[in-house]
Amino acid sequence: MAALLHLSGESQTGLAAALGVSQAQVSRRQSGTAAWSLADCEAVAAHYGIDVLDLLSGPTRAVESLRAERRRAPGRRAGAGRAL
């Protein structure tokens, strides 16, 4: 998830809002303190417009699958968030 957040320039708060959970829940899942459910993975994949199998294949495959329009513009700060 960290690779997708970084490449898209989205914050944990932005991802949390899209998934309907709190930023703290995303943080716990990202740090490994809590597990991502299959439903979570499906929602994340749908949010980023990638196939869930690409997401589950690892960060390299997930970021390769991310469409160009979802990638952060060069020079844009990571975590700056954007309206989706």
Tens digit of each residue's pLDDT (9 = 90 or more) over 7-63: 999 999 999 999 999 999 999 999 999 999 999 999 999 999 999 999 999 999 999
pLDDT in tens, 67-78: 998 898 765 555
HSE-up of residue 61 (Cα within 13 Å, Cβ side): 10
* Helix 38-48, helix 12-19: angle, nearest 10: 110
13 contact partners, CB below 8 Å, separation of at least 6: 23, 81
Q: Indicate the pLDDT class of residue 82, thresholds 50, 70 and 90.
A: very low
Residue 38 has which token pair? 């299959």
Question: Domain 1-69 falls in which CATH fold?
Answer: 434 Repressor (Amino-terminal Domain) (1.10.260)
Give the pLDDT score at 72.
86
Question: Rounded CA gap, 10 and 14, in Å?
Answer: 6
- Among 71, 50, 60, smallest CA distance to 6 is for 71
Where in the chain are the domains? 1-69
